[in-house]
Amino acid sequence: MSYSPQTVKPGMIADGGADMAGRGQGMRWLAMPLLLALAGCSTDVGPSPAELEAQWNAQNVAPQNYKQDLLAFLRTYLNDPSHVRDAGVSQPELKKAGPGNRYVACVRYNARMTTGKYGGPKEGAAVYVSGKLDRFVDGKQELQFYCKGVAYGPFPELERLTR
């Protein structure tokens, strides 16, 4: 709608134009959530490093059935789980893993290859979270960190394992 000089009333100019006032209000309300969203990005609301470590360490429950967990895993991990020789396992110990500590049990064994010959001694480390096997590590660098100097005890259950 266009206004001609005859239709403009004296009060409309003095109050800033009544029909234009509504448009300014809408822009103000649109800008306010945008400013609040940007303000939220500038603050750190995440957990502190100490809180993260506390959450991580809260999952440290000593594994009660660590040998059974290892046997169940190794049955599927080894190509031929029968006739394993020289099996040994360490007691689970707290070791530095990630931002905190985890229970780790080291295992040593000599398993048969698919050819029927023994491949030589191997080691692995079982990492436990909340008392359950979480992952199995067999890389040299990780094993040196987790298993260096641990005391292995006999693990006859692994030597008697079948398919």
**Phi, psi for residue 101 in degrees, rounded to 5:** -115, 155
Helix (H), strand (E) counts: the chain: 6, 6
**pTM (two decimals):** 0.68
Same domain as 65, residue 31: no
Lowest-confidence range among 21-25, 66-70, 85-89?
Answer: 21-25
Does 73 score more than 80 pLDDT?
A: yes
Residue range(s) defining the domain that contains residue 25: 10-41
46 within domain boundaries: no
User: Domain tally for the chain?
Assistant: 2
127 DSSP β-pair partners = 104, 135
Q: For the residues 139-151, what does the mean pLDDT come to?
A: 92
Asked if residue 51 belongs to a domain, the reply is: no
